[in-house]
Structure formats: C-alpha cells, structure tokens
Amino acid sequence: MLSFGQNGRWRKAMVDAVVGISPSRVLDVATGPAGVALQLAARTGAQVTGIDVTPQMLKAAQANLARSPAGEHVTLVLGRAEDLPFADATFDALSFTYLLRYVADPAATLAELVRVVKPGGVIASLEFHPPRGVPWHPLWFLYTRFVLPAAGWALGGREWLDVGRFLGPSISGHYRRYPVTWLIGAWHDAGVDAISTRLMSLGGGLVMWGRKSVSHSSAGLESQVAHEPALPGTDRA
C-alpha cells in the first residue's frame, strides 16, 4: 500500500543491477519473506543466501521457497546485518531492502555488508523515499500520516494502525538524518565505487547500487543521480 503497488518494479530495478555480473553466490540481507532472494535465484541461477533477524519472517520465507521452483537455490539464515556470520569476500553480490532505517549505525552496517562481498562485486539496495516538490510531497505526507494509518486500522485493527502510523515518520526522519548525499558518501567510505542512485515512481522509491572497490584508496567516486521520468497510470495513482 505504501508504494502504490510499485514495490515490484523497484525490486526488479534493484535486481537488474545484480544480474549483469552473472554472480554465482549472492547474499540478500533483510530478506523478509524472500521475495528478492527468489527473484535473484530465478534471474541469475546463483546460489542465494537470505538472512533476516526475525524468525517469523524466515518462517514465511520458507513457505514461499517451497512454492517456487527457484526455492531450491535459496538458503535461509537467522542473523543480524550488523554482524554477518560470513567470512570476508564470500559473495559475488549483495542486496538489501528496507534495512538502514532499522539499524542504530547505518555507516557501520554498510561497512559490514561490504566486508562480505568480493572486490568488484555489486552491492544494491532498495528503500522508500519521500517524493519531492508540489504536489507529490504534500500528497505523500497526507497519505502516510492519515490515509495509511486509517487503512491499517480498517484492514488489521490496532496492530496495523500502529504500523501505518510508524512508516511515514520513519521514512521522513531517516532522510532528515541521512540524506541521499550522506548515503552516497557512506557507501564510498565503506569501500564502494561507481555508485548510482535512481529515484523511482515520482521519487517514492530509491534504488542504489555500486561495486566494491579493489582497494579503499581507489581514485574518485563515480556518482550518478537519475530521476525516472513521471509515468502515466499507476505511477500517478
């Protein structure tokens, strides 16, 4: 509901960044119900490890693996993004989705994520983002502060009312503390080069990707900010 049905497009754009290097081993952090992990496995043929801190999420993920032909290529692990149970340079690529808003130290978490990726490997992420400008930001603000909590209450009672109340302020607060320029710098400081960002669906989603540098002293930061053009139909809903 928060993405107006665009989450699938955003996931695909993130996975596109990984598919291009034909990885054999991929780590999907904050895998949740394994939607990204299954897409990675299906599109790359790689062995994918999905890690999540929540046992209930992994239980849902296990059920999804059992229903998908790609499930046999996915392994699930219980663990924290801040302390990954893997050796240095284990994976050819790494993805993470809706993660940095939930960790105490995003910069330290990024460094830990990059640690387990091989030099030259791809790191890609997806996160919500507040749309910019008029009328999209005011409409997003009204939707996340009023419509989303009401919809949560109608569909799931008090528990989902609380979720609806949490999401909008969580997203806004995250970017007040860590704007996109900060994120680009933190990725670079963690050892990632050729960093690209893509704002999608009128700015409601942010996809980022880059490559782990062979050396942290690699010269220069390549950065590209691409704003997807406004699209008709559901993007404007």
List the domains of the chain with CATH numbers. Answer: 7-128+180-236 (3.40.50.150)
Token pair listed for 80: 């924290």
Distance CA 206, CA 128 (A): 6
Q: Which residues have CB under 8 Å from 17's CB, separation 6+?
A: 122, 124, 196, 207, 209
Q: Is the pLDDT score of 133 beyond 50?
A: yes
Lowest-pLDDT range of 158-162, 172-176, 214-218? 214-218
The answer to whether 74 and 9 have CB atoms below 8 angstroms apart is: no
pLDDT higher at 40 or 237? 40
**Total residues belonging to the chain:** 237
In this model, does residue 222 exceed pLDDT 70? no
Q: Is 170 exposed, middle or buried (0-12, 13-18, 19+ CB in 10 A)?
A: middle
Q: What angle do helix axes 148-156 and 158-177 make, rounded to 10 degrees?
A: 150
Lowest mean pLDDT across 41-45, 77-81, 159-163, 182-186:
159-163
The rounded distance, in Å, linking the Cα atoms of 161 and 225 is 35
Report whether 91 contacts 117 (CB < 8 A).
yes
Q: What is the pLDDT of residue 225?
A: 41
The CA dihedral of 61, 62, 67, 73, to the nearest 10 degrees, is 90
Question: What number of other Cβ atoms are within 10 A of residue 124's Cβ?
Answer: 25
- Tokens in use for 125? 């992420």
The one-letter amino acid at 181: T
Task: Quote the CA–CA distance of 191 and 171 in Å, as a whole number.
Answer: 25
Coil, strand or helix at 96: strand
On the 0-12 / 13-18 / 19+ scale of CB atoms within 10 A, 111 is middle
For 16, the enclosing helix (H) or strand (E) is helix 7-19
The pLDDT of residue 8 is 87
Entry pTM: 0.87
Q: Is 131 exposed, middle or buried (0-12, 13-18, 19+ CB in 10 A)?
A: middle
Distance (Å, rounded) from C-alpha 53 to C-alpha 98?
13
Whether the pLDDT of residue 160 is over 90: the answer is no
